[in-house]
């Protein structure tokens, strides 16, 4: 069957538990959807773990430089699908919703968001600084600018590949990439939609979230939106 959809999962320094997470994603993908895992370096132990498994996964080595955004750009250039979903490899995202997000792109959206804060969604985990920032920064952004989602910072989204290639990914901090695409969809007058999701904080490993990196980038993209600067 021809591949026309792609799921991209960036991973970094994950343990053996990542195999179960990836297997869950594979179980819920349709035959016309490929799974690409992108890693910064073959020196990352995650590369060997996945390579030695029996999972039907394409491994992409990021050759554009370190960081989630460069990793995703590397994978986009390698993927076959014209509709792309991006999920994290830490077990937080619901594998059953990948195809639901991709269907929304097939129906004409440029960005489809798995929203933790829309009706029916839920954030399960410690209500820490990351939670407060993601919830209330998204709430006020949608309230003021009607960006089409209450959860613009969640990375679990699907995109039209042509949209990504047209607007380009500029973010060098992974946690602002999702926000950047929401801002650009608004600036380019593209359609954004959301479905509720239950997001579960990772049960193993360490979060890569960094407040000092996130805040100035968030303010930058809000500024771009205010100034209507594409």
Return the pLDDT at 131: 87
pLDDT digits (tens, 9 = 90+) for 179-189: 999 999 999 99
Return the pLDDT at 171: 86
pLDDT at 205 over 60: no
126 Cβ neighbours under 8 A, 6+ residues apart:
201
pLDDT-wise least confident of 58-62, 65-69, 200-204: 200-204
Average pLDDT, the chain: 92
Cβ atoms 78, 49 nearer than 8 A: no
Return the pLDDT at 207: 59
Q: How far apart are CA 77 and CA 80, in angstroms?
A: 9
Q: How far does Cα 58 stand from its chain's mean position?
A: 18
Name the band, by pLDDT with cuts 50, 70 and 90, for residue 172. Answer: confident
pLDDT at 98 over 80: yes
Q: How far apart are CA 215 and CA 154, in angstroms?
A: 15
CATH architecture, domain 5-227: Alpha-Beta Complex (3.90)
| Average pLDDT value for residue range 30-57 | 94
Return the pLDDT at 208: 58
Name the band, by pLDDT with cuts 50, 70 and 90, for residue 165. Answer: very high
pTM: 0.93
The tokens for 13 are: 């320094």
97: left (phi over 0), alpha (psi -120 to 50) or beta: alpha
Higher pLDDT, 146 or 207: 146
pLDDT digits (tens, 9 = 90+) for 116-131: 999 999 999 888 887 8
- Residue 14 burial (10 A CB sphere; 0-12, 13-18, 19+): buried
Helix (H) or strand (E) run with residue 7 in it: strand 5-10
Return the pLDDT at 153: 92
pLDDT at 78 over 90: yes
Question: Residue ranges per domain, the chain?
Answer: 5-227
Dihedral sign of CA atoms 23, 209, 155, 69 in order: negative
């Amino acid at each position: 069957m021809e591949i026309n959809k792609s799921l991209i999962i960036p991973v970094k320094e994950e343990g053996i538990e990542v195999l179960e997470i990836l297997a869950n994603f594979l179980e819920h993908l349709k035959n016309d959807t490929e799974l690409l895992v992108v890693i910064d370096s073959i020196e990352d132990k995650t590369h060997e773990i996945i390579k030695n498994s029996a999972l039907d996964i394409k491994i992409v080595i990021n050759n554009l430089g370190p960081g989630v955004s460069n990793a995703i750009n590397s994978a986009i250039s390698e993927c076959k699908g014209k509709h792309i979903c991006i999920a994290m490899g830490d077990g937080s995202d619901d594998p059953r919703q990948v195809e639901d997000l991709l269907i929304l792109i097939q129906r004409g959206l440029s960005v489809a968001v798995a929203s933790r804060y829309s009706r029916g969604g839920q954030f399960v985990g410690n209500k820490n600084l990351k939670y407060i920032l993601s919830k209330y920064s998204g709430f006020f952004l949608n309230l003021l600018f009607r960006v089409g989602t209450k959860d613009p910072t969640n990375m679990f989204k699907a995109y039209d590949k042509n949209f990504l290639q047209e607007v380009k990914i500029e973010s060098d901090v992974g946690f602002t990439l999702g926000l950047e695409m929401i801002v650009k969809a608004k600036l380019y007058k593209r359609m954004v939609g959301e479905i509720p999701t239950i997001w579960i904080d990772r049960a193993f490993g360490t979060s890569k979230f960094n407040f000092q990196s996130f805040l100035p980038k968030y303010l930058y993209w809000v500024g771009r939106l205010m100034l209507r600067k594409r």
